Structure 1
Amino acid sequence: MRDRTKGMDAVAVSAALEDARFDARQDSRFEDLADDVRGRAELAEWERLDQLLAAAPAGTVYDSDTDDVVQAELAVDAAAAADREAELREAARVVARANELQALRELHALEQTEPRDGDETARDELTRRAGGYVQADVDT
C-alpha cells in the first residue's frame, strides 16, 4: 500500500478511502471475509492518511519517506531484525564452541583447555546433544 500512496494528494487519498470503505462493506457480507484483519488495517491506514493530508497545506502529496508513523515502524522492524541477527550469531558461536569442546573431548585434551566466557551455554548445548545427560568431563 505504501508504494501506491506515494505521491497521492488529498483528493486521491479520499477517493481511495471511499473505495476501501466500500470494500469493507462488501466484505462484511461474507462470513469468510468479515474477519479479514488485513482489510481492516488497510482501511485504518487510508483513514490515517486522509486525516494527515487534510491537516496538511493544500497541494501536499503523501511521501512515506517523511511520514513519522512509517519511519517509526521501519525503525522497529530494523531493531527487531538486528536482534534476530544477534541471536543467530550467538547461537552459531555457542554451537562452534560446543563443537570445539567435543573435539577436545575426543582427543582426551578437554582437561587442558582454558574456560571461556559463555562456556556454560556450550556445556548446555553438549548436554542437549547427549539427551540430557551431563557429562562429567564437560561439567568440570
Structure 2
Amino acid sequence: MDAGAVAAALEEARFDARQNSRHEDLGDDVRGRAELAEWERLTQLLADAAPGTVYAPEADDVVRAELAAAAAAAAREAELREAARIAARADELQALRELGTLEQTEPRHGDEAVRDELTRRAGSYVQVDVDAWFAYALAARLGHYRDPAAREDAAGLLPAPVLAHAALLAELARLVPGVGVGVDQLAFAARLAQADPAATAQLADFLVRVPACAEGSPA
C-alpha cells in the first residue's frame, strides 16, 4: 500500500470510530480502536519514510516482531504438548513393566524420547529391561521399526549399547533360524553390548560375512 491508500484507510477507520461512539452498544469497540491505532501507526511510518515508499508488511519491524512472538508461542505450545505426550507414554510403559507385559508391547514413533524420560526418572541409571525391549523391537522390526526410516533414525536416538545389542540379535537370529530374539532369549547378547558396545557391534558386522565365508570354505 502506498501513502494515499493508507491515508484513505485511516480516514475510513476514523469515520467508523465516530459512528460507533454514537451508539452505546458499540462504544466499547476494542477491535475498532485497535484498527484505528494501527492505521495511525502505518500513516506515521510512511510519513517518516522517504517519499514514494510503499508499505510492505515483511519490512515492518512491528509485524516481524509480532510474527516472531506468535511463532515462539506456537513452538512453546508444541513443546508442552510433546512433553505431556512423553510423560503419559512413560507412565504407560512403566505400568506395563510392573505388570510384566512390556515385552508384549510394540514401540511407537517417539518412544526413544520416552526412554530418555524413563532414564531421567530413574536418576540416569541404565534400565536393562527397557533397553533390552528396544533392542528386541529393533532387531525384530516391530512397531514403528517396520519402517526403514525409523530404523535409520534410531541410530541417532538410541545409545550405542542398545544399537549393538539389536545388531547382534538380528545376526544371531539370521544365522540360527528359529532361535528367536525375544527379551528373555540370548540374554548374553545384552551383557556383551553393555560391557563393550563397540566390540559387540564389530562382532555383529563380522557375523554378516559368516555365510559367505562358509560357502567359500573347502568341503
Provide the rounded CA distance (Å) in 1 between the counterparts of 2:4 and 2:70: 31
Deviation of 1:15 (Å): 1.2
Does the alignment pair 1:62 with 2:55? yes
Does the alignment pair 1:49 with 2:49? no
Which residue pairs with 2:175 in the alignment? none
Partner SS, residue 60 of structure 1 = coil
**Which 5+ residue runs of structure 1 have no aligned equivalent?**
1-7, 110-114, 121-140
- C-alpha RMSD of matched pairs (Å): 1.9
Deviation of 1:119 (Å): 6.3
Deviation of 1:118 (Å): 4.0
**Aligned equivalent of 1:30, options 18, 23, 27:** 23
Paired AA for residue 120 in structure 2: D
Give the 3 Å change call, closer, same or farther, for CA 45–106 of structure 1 in structure 2. Answer: same
Partner SS, residue 52 of structure 2 = coil
Deviation of 1:106 (Å): 2.1
* 1:9–1:62 contact (8 Å) kept in structure 2: yes
- The 4+ residue runs of structure 1 with deviation greater than 4 A are none
Provide the rounded CA distance (Å) in 2 between the counterparts of 1:62 and 1:108: 63
Deviation of 1:22 (Å): 0.5
* 1:97–1:119 contact (8 Å) kept in structure 2: no
Give the 3 Å change call, closer, same or farther, for CA 78–108 of structure 1 in structure 2. Answer: closer
Aligned residues: 108
Deviation of 1:105 (Å): 2.1
1:1-59 deviation line (CA, Å, top 9, x unaligned): xxxxxxx1111111110110010111111222111111111000000000001111111
| Structure having the higher Rg | 2
Does the alignment pair 1:9 with 2:9? no
Which residue pairs with 1:116 in the alignment? 119
Does the alignment pair 1:101 with 2:104? no
Deviates more, 1:99-108 or 1:40-49: 99-108
1:90-118 deviation line (CA, Å, top 9, x unaligned): 00000000000111222288xxxxx6214
Which residue pairs with 2:183 in the alignment? none
TM alignment of 1:62-101, pairs within 5 A:
62-101=55-94
Give the 3 Å change call, closer, same or farther, for CA 118–91 of structure 1 in structure 2. Answer: farther
* 1:24–1:40 contact (8 Å) kept in structure 2: yes
Q: What TM-score results when the alignment is normalised by the length of structure 1?
A: 0.71
